A and B are shown apart, each in its own frame.
Chain A
Protein backbone atom coordinates (compact mmCIF):
# COMPACT_ATOMS: atom_id res chain seq x y z
CA UNK A 1 0.00 0.00 0.00
CA UNK A 2 2.73 2.42 1.00
CA UNK A 3 4.59 1.51 -2.19
CA UNK A 4 1.68 2.78 -4.26
CA UNK A 5 1.43 5.93 -2.15
CA UNK A 6 5.12 6.56 -2.66
CA UNK A 7 4.73 6.17 -6.40
CA UNK A 8 1.86 8.68 -6.46
CA UNK A 9 3.91 11.11 -4.34
CA UNK A 10 6.79 10.73 -6.79
CA UNK A 11 4.56 11.57 -9.73
CA UNK A 12 3.15 14.63 -7.96
CA UNK A 13 6.64 15.81 -7.11
CA UNK A 14 7.66 15.38 -10.74
CA UNK A 15 4.68 17.44 -11.94
CA UNK A 16 5.56 20.21 -9.48
CA UNK A 17 9.07 20.58 -10.88
CA UNK A 18 9.58 22.52 -14.10
CA UNK A 19 10.03 20.28 -17.09
CA UNK A 20 13.49 19.54 -18.31
CA UNK A 21 12.28 19.72 -21.93
CA UNK A 22 12.71 23.02 -23.77
CA UNK A 23 9.81 25.41 -24.13
CA UNK A 24 10.00 25.06 -27.91
CA UNK A 25 9.59 21.28 -27.87
CA UNK A 26 6.73 21.63 -25.39
CA UNK A 27 4.93 24.09 -27.65
CA UNK A 28 5.48 22.02 -30.79
CA UNK A 29 4.62 18.80 -28.96
CA UNK A 30 1.49 20.39 -27.51
CA UNK A 31 0.51 21.74 -30.90
CA UNK A 32 0.86 18.35 -32.59
CA UNK A 33 -0.98 16.61 -29.74
CA UNK A 34 -3.72 19.23 -30.01
CA UNK A 35 -4.18 18.58 -33.71
CA UNK A 36 -4.33 14.83 -33.12
CA UNK A 37 -6.79 15.04 -30.24
CA UNK A 38 -9.03 17.69 -31.81
CA UNK A 39 -8.95 15.93 -35.16
CA UNK A 40 -9.67 12.64 -33.46
CA UNK A 41 -12.55 14.16 -31.53
CA UNK A 42 -14.08 15.67 -34.65
CA UNK A 43 -13.56 12.50 -36.68
CA UNK A 44 -15.27 10.46 -33.97
CA UNK A 45 -18.13 12.96 -33.81
CA UNK A 46 -18.55 13.02 -37.57
CA UNK A 47 -18.65 9.22 -37.53
CA UNK A 48 -21.77 9.51 -35.38
CA UNK A 49 -23.16 11.97 -37.91
CA UNK A 50 -23.82 9.44 -40.66
CA UNK A 51 -26.90 7.56 -41.72
CA UNK A 52 -25.00 4.27 -41.33
CA UNK A 53 -24.43 5.11 -37.67
CA UNK A 54 -28.06 6.16 -37.11
CA UNK A 55 -29.53 2.99 -38.55
CA UNK A 56 -27.07 0.76 -36.76
CA UNK A 57 -29.77 0.77 -34.05
CA UNK A 58 -32.73 -1.39 -35.02
CA UNK A 59 -35.10 1.18 -33.51
CA UNK A 60 -34.12 3.60 -36.25
CA UNK A 61 -33.56 1.07 -39.02
CA UNK A 62 -36.90 -0.70 -38.71
CA UNK A 63 -39.18 2.24 -38.04
CA UNK A 64 -38.20 5.73 -39.14
CA UNK A 65 -35.69 4.69 -41.81
CA UNK A 66 -38.18 2.45 -43.62
CA UNK A 67 -40.79 5.21 -43.65
CA UNK A 68 -38.28 7.74 -44.88
CA UNK A 69 -37.28 5.56 -47.86
CA UNK A 70 -40.51 6.25 -49.73
CA UNK A 71 -40.31 10.02 -49.27
CA UNK A 72 -38.85 12.69 -51.51
CA UNK A 73 -35.82 13.23 -49.29
CA UNK A 74 -34.67 9.70 -50.07
CA UNK A 75 -35.92 9.10 -53.60
CA UNK A 76 -36.40 11.87 -56.13
CA UNK A 77 -35.83 13.06 -59.67
CA UNK A 78 -32.29 14.39 -59.32
CA UNK A 79 -30.94 11.92 -56.76
CA UNK A 80 -29.97 14.52 -54.17
CA UNK A 81 -30.55 13.12 -50.70
CA UNK A 82 -31.02 14.52 -47.24
CA UNK A 83 -29.79 11.88 -44.80
CA UNK A 84 -30.72 11.63 -41.10
CA UNK A 85 -28.14 14.14 -39.72
CA UNK A 86 -28.94 16.71 -42.42
CA UNK A 87 -32.31 17.26 -40.76
CA UNK A 88 -31.72 16.08 -37.21
CA UNK A 89 -28.26 17.46 -36.34
CA UNK A 90 -27.55 21.20 -36.53
CA UNK A 91 -24.64 22.31 -38.71
CA UNK A 92 -23.27 25.18 -36.52
CA UNK A 93 -20.70 23.76 -34.11
CA UNK A 94 -22.15 24.97 -30.78
CA UNK A 95 -25.66 23.73 -31.62
CA UNK A 96 -24.22 20.49 -32.91
CA UNK A 97 -22.40 19.82 -29.63
CA UNK A 98 -25.54 20.71 -27.70
CA UNK A 99 -27.56 18.23 -29.74
CA UNK A 100 -24.88 15.58 -29.30
CA UNK A 101 -25.00 16.02 -25.52
CA UNK A 102 -28.80 15.74 -25.62
CA UNK A 103 -28.33 12.50 -27.55
CA UNK A 104 -26.87 10.90 -24.43
CA UNK A 105 -30.48 10.70 -23.25
CA UNK A 106 -31.20 8.63 -26.35
CA UNK A 107 -28.42 6.24 -25.34
CA UNK A 108 -30.07 5.85 -21.94
CA UNK A 109 -33.40 4.99 -23.56
CA UNK A 110 -31.66 2.62 -25.95
CA UNK A 111 -30.33 0.80 -22.87
CA UNK A 112 -33.75 0.92 -21.19
CA UNK A 113 -35.38 -0.41 -24.36
CA UNK A 114 -38.00 2.36 -24.33
CA UNK A 115 -38.86 1.95 -28.02
CA UNK A 116 -37.43 -1.45 -28.83
CA UNK A 117 -40.58 -2.84 -30.45
CA UNK A 118 -42.73 -1.28 -33.19
CA UNK A 119 -45.63 -1.17 -30.71
CA UNK A 120 -43.63 0.73 -28.11
CA UNK A 121 -42.36 3.06 -30.80
CA UNK A 122 -45.86 3.76 -32.09
CA UNK A 123 -47.07 4.49 -28.57
CA UNK A 124 -44.33 7.10 -28.17
CA UNK A 125 -44.51 8.50 -31.69
CA UNK A 126 -46.54 11.61 -30.85
CA UNK A 127 -44.24 12.55 -27.95
CA UNK A 128 -41.12 12.01 -30.05
CA UNK A 129 -42.57 13.87 -33.02
CA UNK A 130 -43.47 16.78 -30.77
CA UNK A 131 -39.87 17.01 -29.58
CA UNK A 132 -38.73 17.44 -33.17
CA UNK A 133 -41.58 19.82 -34.09
CA UNK A 134 -40.89 22.00 -31.03
CA UNK A 135 -37.16 22.09 -31.73
CA UNK A 136 -37.81 23.02 -35.36
CA UNK A 137 -40.27 25.71 -34.34
CA UNK A 138 -37.77 27.15 -31.86
CA UNK A 139 -34.99 27.42 -34.43
CA UNK A 140 -37.23 28.67 -37.25
CA UNK A 141 -36.68 25.29 -38.97
CA UNK A 142 -32.93 25.86 -39.14
CA UNK A 143 -32.12 22.41 -40.49
CA UNK A 144 -34.67 22.77 -43.31
CA UNK A 145 -33.21 26.13 -44.22
CA UNK A 146 -29.72 24.66 -44.61
CA UNK A 147 -31.01 23.62 -48.04
CA UNK A 148 -34.39 25.32 -48.47
CA UNK A 149 -33.71 29.03 -48.29
CA UNK A 150 -36.95 30.90 -48.89
CA UNK A 151 -34.99 33.92 -50.18
CA UNK A 152 -33.92 31.69 -53.06
CA UNK A 153 -37.35 30.25 -53.78
CA UNK A 154 -38.59 31.02 -57.28
CA UNK A 155 -42.32 31.23 -56.70
CA UNK A 156 -42.95 31.17 -60.46
CA UNK A 157 -41.39 27.71 -60.65
CA UNK A 158 -43.66 26.48 -57.86
CA UNK A 159 -47.13 25.14 -58.41
CA UNK A 160 -50.13 27.21 -57.53
CA UNK A 161 -50.95 25.75 -54.14
CA UNK A 162 -47.34 25.84 -52.96
CA UNK A 163 -46.79 29.34 -54.28
CA UNK A 164 -49.86 30.76 -52.54
CA UNK A 165 -49.16 28.96 -49.27
CA UNK A 166 -45.49 29.98 -49.20
CA UNK A 167 -46.18 33.66 -49.85
CA UNK A 168 -49.01 33.72 -47.33
CA UNK A 169 -47.11 31.69 -44.73
CA UNK A 170 -43.89 33.70 -44.86
CA UNK A 171 -45.90 36.93 -44.63
CA UNK A 172 -47.47 35.63 -41.43
CA UNK A 173 -44.04 34.72 -40.07
CA UNK A 174 -44.69 31.01 -40.19
CA UNK A 175 -41.86 28.49 -40.42
CA UNK A 176 -41.43 25.29 -42.48
CA UNK A 177 -42.51 22.85 -39.76
CA UNK A 178 -45.82 24.67 -39.22
CA UNK A 179 -47.14 23.01 -42.39
CA UNK A 180 -44.54 20.43 -43.41
CA UNK A 181 -45.06 17.82 -40.71
CA UNK A 182 -44.62 14.16 -41.52
CA UNK A 183 -42.75 14.78 -44.77
CA UNK A 184 -40.02 12.25 -44.05
CA UNK A 185 -41.71 9.93 -41.55
CA UNK A 186 -45.19 8.60 -40.85
CA UNK A 187 -47.30 10.96 -38.81
CA UNK A 188 -48.38 10.01 -35.32
CA UNK A 189 -52.11 9.76 -34.59
CA UNK A 190 -53.21 13.35 -35.12
CA UNK A 191 -56.25 13.41 -32.80
CA UNK A 192 -54.68 16.04 -30.57
CA UNK A 193 -52.91 18.01 -33.30
CA UNK A 194 -55.71 18.27 -35.87
CA UNK A 195 -58.79 16.24 -34.91
CA UNK A 196 -60.47 17.20 -38.16
CA UNK A 197 -57.82 15.27 -40.12
CA UNK A 198 -58.53 11.91 -38.49
CA UNK A 199 -61.63 9.77 -38.60
CA UNK A 200 -63.69 8.84 -35.59
CA UNK A 201 -63.30 10.05 -32.02
CA UNK A 202 -60.58 7.73 -30.75
CA UNK A 203 -58.03 9.24 -28.43
CA UNK A 204 -60.52 11.60 -26.85
Chain B
Protein backbone atom coordinates (compact mmCIF):
# COMPACT_ATOMS: atom_id res chain seq x y z
CA UNK B 1 0.00 0.00 0.00
CA UNK B 2 2.79 2.39 0.98
CA UNK B 3 4.57 1.53 -2.28
CA UNK B 4 1.51 2.33 -4.35
CA UNK B 5 1.09 5.73 -2.67
CA UNK B 6 4.79 6.54 -3.24
CA UNK B 7 4.52 5.52 -6.88
CA UNK B 8 1.48 7.72 -7.24
CA UNK B 9 3.29 10.73 -5.79
CA UNK B 10 6.31 10.20 -8.08
CA UNK B 11 4.10 9.83 -11.16
CA UNK B 12 2.09 12.96 -10.24
CA UNK B 13 5.32 14.88 -9.71
CA UNK B 14 6.76 13.90 -13.10
CA UNK B 15 3.49 14.78 -14.76
CA UNK B 16 3.26 18.17 -13.04
CA UNK B 17 6.87 19.21 -13.64
CA UNK B 18 7.43 21.28 -16.81
CA UNK B 19 9.43 18.54 -18.55
CA UNK B 20 10.31 20.60 -21.63
CA UNK B 21 12.02 23.28 -19.55
CA UNK B 22 14.19 20.68 -17.82
CA UNK B 23 15.23 19.20 -21.15
CA UNK B 24 16.25 22.33 -22.99
CA UNK B 25 18.62 21.48 -25.80
CA UNK B 26 21.84 23.30 -26.62
CA UNK B 27 20.31 24.32 -29.92
CA UNK B 28 17.87 26.53 -28.01
CA UNK B 29 14.20 26.29 -27.11
CA UNK B 30 13.11 25.51 -30.65
CA UNK B 31 10.45 22.92 -31.50
CA UNK B 32 11.86 19.89 -33.28
CA UNK B 33 9.89 20.59 -36.44
CA UNK B 34 10.80 24.28 -36.50
CA UNK B 35 13.81 25.70 -38.26
CA UNK B 36 16.71 26.47 -35.98
CA UNK B 37 18.17 29.94 -35.85
CA UNK B 38 20.77 30.18 -38.57
CA UNK B 39 24.24 29.83 -37.11
CA UNK B 40 26.88 32.30 -38.20
CA UNK B 41 29.73 30.42 -39.92
CA UNK B 42 32.83 30.53 -37.76
CA UNK B 43 36.13 31.64 -39.20
CA UNK B 44 39.48 30.06 -38.48
CA UNK B 45 41.75 32.28 -36.46
CA UNK B 46 44.67 34.01 -38.12
CA UNK B 47 48.30 32.94 -37.65
CA UNK B 48 49.62 33.64 -34.16
CA UNK B 49 52.01 32.49 -31.48
CA UNK B 50 51.67 29.00 -29.98
CA UNK B 51 48.58 28.75 -27.75
CA UNK B 52 49.34 27.91 -24.09
CA UNK B 53 48.28 24.46 -22.94
CA UNK B 54 45.61 23.95 -20.29
CA UNK B 55 46.58 20.50 -19.11
CA UNK B 56 49.87 18.68 -18.92
CA UNK B 57 49.22 16.03 -21.57
CA UNK B 58 47.18 18.23 -23.88
CA UNK B 59 48.18 18.01 -27.55
CA UNK B 60 49.14 21.58 -28.51
CA UNK B 61 46.51 23.47 -30.51
CA UNK B 62 47.26 24.57 -34.06
CA UNK B 63 47.77 28.37 -34.05
CA UNK B 64 47.11 28.80 -37.80
CA UNK B 65 44.70 27.86 -40.59
CA UNK B 66 44.99 24.42 -42.13
CA UNK B 67 42.49 24.77 -45.00
CA UNK B 68 43.31 22.39 -47.81
CA UNK B 69 46.08 20.64 -45.90
CA UNK B 70 46.01 17.00 -46.87
CA UNK B 71 47.20 14.10 -44.72
CA UNK B 72 47.07 10.78 -46.51
CA UNK B 73 49.22 7.81 -47.44
CA UNK B 74 51.00 9.80 -50.15
CA UNK B 75 51.99 12.83 -48.13
CA UNK B 76 51.46 14.83 -44.97
CA UNK B 77 51.25 18.59 -45.43
CA UNK B 78 51.91 19.29 -41.73
CA UNK B 79 55.23 17.48 -41.85
CA UNK B 80 56.49 19.63 -44.73
CA UNK B 81 57.09 22.22 -41.98
CA UNK B 82 56.94 20.36 -38.66
CA UNK B 83 59.14 17.34 -39.40
CA UNK B 84 62.62 17.23 -37.90
CA UNK B 85 64.08 17.63 -41.38
CA UNK B 86 62.10 20.77 -42.16
CA UNK B 87 61.24 22.60 -38.94
CA UNK B 88 64.33 24.82 -38.85
CA UNK B 89 63.89 26.16 -42.35
CA UNK B 90 60.16 26.66 -41.78
CA UNK B 91 60.64 28.25 -38.32
CA UNK B 92 58.05 25.79 -37.02
CA UNK B 93 57.65 23.73 -33.87
CA UNK B 94 59.10 20.27 -34.39
CA UNK B 95 57.12 17.11 -33.83
CA UNK B 96 57.57 15.69 -30.33
CA UNK B 97 59.98 12.81 -29.93
CA UNK B 98 57.13 10.77 -28.45
CA UNK B 99 55.72 10.50 -31.99
CA UNK B 100 58.56 8.25 -33.12
CA UNK B 101 57.71 5.22 -31.04
CA UNK B 102 55.23 2.54 -31.96
CA UNK B 103 52.67 1.08 -29.55
CA UNK B 104 55.23 -1.32 -28.10
CA UNK B 105 57.44 1.63 -27.21
CA UNK B 106 60.08 0.78 -29.81
CA UNK B 107 61.81 3.81 -31.30
CA UNK B 108 61.40 4.22 -35.07
CA UNK B 109 63.33 6.17 -37.68
CA UNK B 110 60.26 8.07 -38.89
CA UNK B 111 56.91 9.24 -37.51
CA UNK B 112 55.00 6.26 -36.17
CA UNK B 113 51.88 5.34 -38.15
CA UNK B 114 49.74 5.82 -35.02
CA UNK B 115 50.95 9.42 -34.73
CA UNK B 116 50.86 10.21 -38.45
CA UNK B 117 47.35 11.69 -38.62
CA UNK B 118 48.08 14.97 -36.86
CA UNK B 119 44.53 16.33 -36.83
CA UNK B 120 43.31 13.37 -34.79
CA UNK B 121 44.68 15.23 -31.76
CA UNK B 122 45.89 18.64 -32.94
CA UNK B 123 43.17 21.05 -34.03
CA UNK B 124 42.99 24.65 -35.23
CA UNK B 125 40.74 27.13 -33.42
CA UNK B 126 37.77 29.34 -34.27
CA UNK B 127 36.66 32.24 -32.10
CA UNK B 128 33.55 30.48 -30.76
CA UNK B 129 31.75 31.15 -27.50
CA UNK B 130 31.64 28.02 -25.29
CA UNK B 131 28.19 26.40 -25.29
CA UNK B 132 28.25 25.93 -21.54
CA UNK B 133 29.93 27.97 -18.85
CA UNK B 134 33.31 26.61 -17.88
CA UNK B 135 35.42 27.61 -14.90
CA UNK B 136 38.31 25.32 -15.66
CA UNK B 137 41.70 26.67 -14.62
CA UNK B 138 44.98 25.08 -15.69
CA UNK B 139 47.21 23.72 -12.94
CA UNK B 140 49.77 26.09 -11.51
CA UNK B 141 52.69 24.15 -12.94
CA UNK B 142 51.89 24.94 -16.59
CA UNK B 143 50.40 28.37 -16.06
CA UNK B 144 52.14 31.09 -18.03
Q: How far is the CA of A165 from the CA of B91 in the complex (A)?
A: 9
A72-B113 in contact given A164-B91, A182-B75, A197-B79 (Cβ < 8 Å): no
- How many residues of chain B have a CB within 8 Å of chain A? 28
- Chain B 21-37 residues near chain A, CB threshold 8 A: none
Q: Say whether B101 faces chain A, with CB atoms less than 8 Å apart.
A: no
Contact bitstring B64-92, A, C-beta under 8 A = 1, else 0: 11011010111111011001111000110
Q: Which residue of B lies closest to A199 (CB)?
A: B116
Cross-chain contact B74 with A188 (CB below 8 angstroms): yes
Q: Chain A interface mostly helix, strand, loop or mixed?
A: loop
Q: Say whether A200 faces chain B, with CB atoms less than 8 Å apart.
A: yes
- Assign chain A's interface to a size class: 20 to 34
A159-B46 in contact given A194-B80, A195-B110, A197-B86 (Cβ < 8 Å): yes
Residues of B within 8 A of A (CB): 46-48, 64-65, 67-68, 70, 72-77, 79-80, 83-86, 90-91, 109-113, 116
Q: Say whether A187 faces chain B, with CB atoms less than 8 Å apart.
A: yes
Q: How far is the CA of A162 from the CA of B111 in the complex (A)?
A: 26
| Shortest CB distance A66–B (Å) | 14
Which chain B residues border A7 with CB–CB below 8 Å?
A: none
Contact bitstring A173-200, B, C-beta under 8 A = 1, else 0: 0000000001100111110001111111
